[in-house]
Structure 1
Amino acid sequence: MSGAAELAMLLSRAASGDQLAFRDFYDRTSAKLFGVILRILPERGEAEDVLQDVYLTIWRKAAEFDPVRASPVTWTATIARNRAIDRLRAKRVRPTAPMDDAAIVEDDAPLADALIDSARGASRVQAALATLDPRHAAAIRSCYFEGVTYEALAAREGVPVGTLKSWVRRGILKMRDSMGDSAA
């Protein structure tokens, strides 16, 4: 049974009130959803609150999940993303200021040279990842870009946690060498 099929089965069981199935579903998906939320709400405490709300929603709406329309991860990631955006919108206060203050409003957007440097850095990271063994590169992407824990990723890959950590560590060292960075 594929990972998506297992998650769909767990959601189906959770829809019937199976708390153990829901706990297993949570264990398998929480790192991913937390990563989605953290990208939108960088304050960890707030992101944790939203994650809790997301899982309450998933518990309540598990019966509405349709595996024909979306994978379990896509369905839950959409819920997480929408909740995080809702929280972000709710906390925005629209300040008002006198018109005379308009001349001194600063633009917080990054300057063009900073955006170019950032894009170059991202392309260097992607190029360095491309030099790695595909499993090692995928492990680094999962851990650093998706927020998957070592334990969850090791279970998914079917390898010991120590092996997975070694893949990531060696991969990062190889990336540093290929990028010409000597800093640790």
Structure 2
Amino acid sequence: MSDPSSSSSPPVRPASAPSASAAAERLTSLLQQVALKDRDAFSQLYQATSAKLYGTVLRILGNTSWADDVVQEAYVNIWQKASQFDAGKSSPITWMVSIARNGAIDELRRQPTARRDHDEALEEIASSAPTAGDQLSQEQNAQQLYECLDELEDNRRDMVRLAYLHGWSRADLASRFDQPVNTIKTWLHRALKQLKGCLAS
């Protein structure tokens, strides 16, 4: 029997580029851990899928601030519903995108004319988001996203991470940073816009 420690490819982040099926298996494993309320797994899941979900929601809503709110809610739902994921019925990314898309459509139905700005530059970035089958591209985009996060001011970076990695609400952030909720929304909007500019460069 071979020694497991001699493997050249760690299970979470292989040294070589993963195939689509290997990436799907990784996301499935992460979702199973999230179902057990593993926050580290949730953080890894966000890194691997946030670019795809954000692009999907932004294409539907056409507004970065609005998309920001809907994506946060999507990840809250993923955290709460991870145990409901059935790998026999759909791929993990398809299941997650469905949650995000349904949330965006529900918001659009509730406010069909609200906050639509159709920023052409952001639309272009959203349209370049990876397809459901392009798992490797997703991870590359996520890595670039985290590099761009490091370029934000400390408090803005902390705010974005608390909102999207740890599920903090706007009210939680307002209390943490001692600012009104509307100010928090504005800061997050500006931080995300800066991120989009970095990702486009």
Question: If the length of structure 2 is used for normalisation, what is the TM-score?
Answer: 0.49
> Deviations along 1:89-128, whole A, 9 cap, x unmatched?
01137xxxxxxxxxxxxxxxxxxxxxxxxxxxxxxxxxxx
Contact 1:36/1:146, CA 8 A, preserved across alignment? no
Higher relative contact order (CA 8 A, sep 6+): 2
Contact 2:34/2:42, CA 8 A, preserved across alignment? yes
The answer on 1:51 being equivalent to 2:71 is yes
In 2, the alpha carbon distance for the partners of 1:147 and 1:90 equals 26
Q: How does 1:161-176 map to 2 (within 5 A)?
A: none
In 2, the alpha carbon distance for the partners of 1:154 and 1:26 equals 11
Q: CA RMSD in A?
A: 2.5
Secondary structure of the corresponding residue to residue 7 of structure 1 = helix
Residue 153 of structure 1: how far off its partner (Å) = 3.3
Question: What amino acid does structure 1 have at the position aligned with 2:90?
Answer: A
Residue 15 of structure 1: how far off its partner (Å) = 0.4
Question: If the length of structure 1 is used for normalisation, what is the TM-score?
Answer: 0.53
> Which residue of 125, 129, 133 maps to 1:147?
129
In 2, the alpha carbon distance for the partners of 1:146 and 1:78 equals 19
Find the structure with the greater CA-based Rg: 1
Q: Which residue of 2 aligns with 1:24?
A: 44
Q: How high is the sequence identity, in percent, across the aligned residues?
A: 40
Gap runs ≥5 in structure 2? 1-20, 114-124, 131-135, 145-201
The answer on 1:7 being equivalent to 2:27 is yes
Residue 145 of structure 1: how far off its partner (Å) = 2.9
> Which residue of 35, 48, 69 maps to 2:89?
69
Residue 69 of structure 1: how far off its partner (Å) = 0.4
Which 4+ residue blocks in structure 1 deviate beyond 4 angstroms? 154-157
Identify, as 1 or 2, the structure richer in helix.
1
